Amino acid sequence: MNEKRKAVLTTAAAALFLALVAAAMLSEGSATAAEDDRAKGGSVWGASYFPNVPLTTHDGRTVRFFDDLVEGKVVAVNFIYTTCPDSCPMETARLLEVHELLGDRMGKDVFFYSITIDPEHDTQPVLAKFVEDWGIGDGWTFLTGKEEDVTLLRKKLGLYIEEIAVEGSRDHNLSMMIGNQATGRWMKRSPFENAFVLAKQIGGELHNWKVPTAAPQDYAQAPELRSISKGESLYRTRCSACHTIGGGDVKDLAARRIGPDLYQVVERRDRAWLERWLAEPDAMLAEKDPLAMALLARYNDVPMPNMQLNAVEVEAVIEHLEEASAEIARHAAMGHRRDPLAARQAAHADHHADHAGHR
């Protein structure tokens, strides 16, 4: 091998060695950076993304959004205001159901945060009273802060709609965000979703199913699906978080619901009054309707929200209340408890018996 060729090969080998060393150093640095990013939920969803703005909790503590509330946690975040006449009370009622389903995991490996979009009115004492009135339990914090900081959080969480954010309006995105900051997984969800579905997503999916189910489940034992009416669909999504049909009046907020039982309510109330109450309860409360005010006083001063039902939807809900009450009454006459679950179980058994008789 001549000297010139040997020199070329030596130079090439040296260059390759330096390249390998540099690559190894870069790889080691990248691995360290990747580990740091994973520890922060990924570079996209970590401290460099979420504003670390100060907020005040309903119990008077000053906290930082990223450092104290979301870093390394599984959370649900929504935006509300305490004087909201329609959607916010329904959101709060539904999340109370989810809170109950998650049980003692709340405040340990699951955290709820409700942030006001009306900080001028919703001061710390106002939020504290709201929490007391609603019976909010451990692991669920209500917060206020500077309006510009709250708006920034709404934008960063994808819960801000520019088109409806006009001055003086409290219209806002009704979605909520659930996420695991440590893994960087975030999902936008409706707070009006089935409470069991939300609890499964927050307590199971976002935790990578680390908590085993209480007992083995088999699809063969799943109940038969049935078609539901428009009225029942509306009842499930708008009413069931606060009311039962045949379960008895509930004033114990630990039982998830707060509101009168609706069994045979169509028979017990004047029809015109009931129709208007379903359509515009906020107007009736503003007018100090005697019955509306009595209900408000009876149920912890938690007002009936305006569910934005049109006339057709009001009639559909009333029809469902009549049908469900009749079903429960029929099974009560047969000796079953006046309980929606018992009635449905009995009706399900009747269905299978009828089906077997036609084989």
- Measure the CA–CA gap between 353 and 359, rounded to whole angstroms: 10
Q: Are 47 and 156 in contact (CB under 8 A)?
A: no
More confident site: 114 or 9? 114
Type of residue at 285: L
Around 152, how many Cα atoms within 13 Å sit in the side-chain half-sphere?
14
Instruction: Read off the tokens for 299.
Output: 């149920």
SS3 label, residue 243: coil
- Starting at the earlier edge strand, list the strands of the sheet with 176-180: 62-64, 54-57, 140-144, 111-116, 74-80, 176-180, 185-189
Judged on CB neighbours under 10 Å (0-12, 13-18, 19+), 183 is: middle
- Signed CA dihedral, 285, 288, 292, 298: sign only: positive
**In this predicted structure, what is the pLDDT of residue 280?**
95
**In this predicted structure, what is the pLDDT of residue 8?**
45
pLDDT at 256 over 60: no
Closest listed residue to residue 175, CA positions, set 162, 192, 198, 151: 192
Write down the mean pLDDT value for the chain: 79
Q: How confident is the model at residue 31 (pLDDT cuts 50, 70, 90)?
A: very low
pLDDT at 21 over 70: no
**In this predicted structure, what is the pLDDT of residue 255?**
44
CB atoms within 10 A of CB 326: 12
Type of residue at 31: A
Around 221, how many Cα atoms within 13 Å sit in the side-chain half-sphere?
4
* Domains, the chain, with CATH or none: 54-207 (3.40.30.10), 230-357 (1.10.760.10)
More confident site: 86 or 299? 299
**In this predicted structure, what is the pLDDT of residue 33?**
43
pLDDT at 4 over 70: no
Q: How confident is the model at residue 219 (pLDDT cuts 50, 70, 90)?
A: confident
Type of residue at 217: Q
Angle in degrees, CA 81, 83, 85, rounded to 5: 105
Q: How confident is the model at residue 10 (pLDDT cuts 50, 70, 90)?
A: low
More confident site: 278 or 85? 278
Per-residue pLDDT, averaged over 257-266, amounts to 82
Per-residue pLDDT, averaged over 58-72, amounts to 95
Q: For 314-341, how does the pLDDT look when each residue is reduced to its tens digit (9 = 90+)?
A: 999 999 999 998 888 887 676 654 444 4
User: Facing residues of 140 across strands?
Assistant: 112
pLDDT at 113 over 80: yes
Q: For 168-217, how does the pLDDT look when each residue is reduced to its tens digit (9 = 90+)?
A: 555 566 789 999 999 889 999 987 788 889 999 999 998 887 776 666 77
Q: For 123-155, how does the pLDDT look when each residue is reduced to its tens digit (9 = 90+)?
A: 999 999 999 988 899 999 999 999 999 999 999
Closest listed residue to residue 124, CA positions, set 68, 55, 171: 55
pLDDT at 263 over 90: no
Q: For 89-108, how does the pLDDT look when each residue is reduced to its tens digit (9 = 90+)?
A: 888 888 988 998 899 999 99
pTM of the model: 0.65
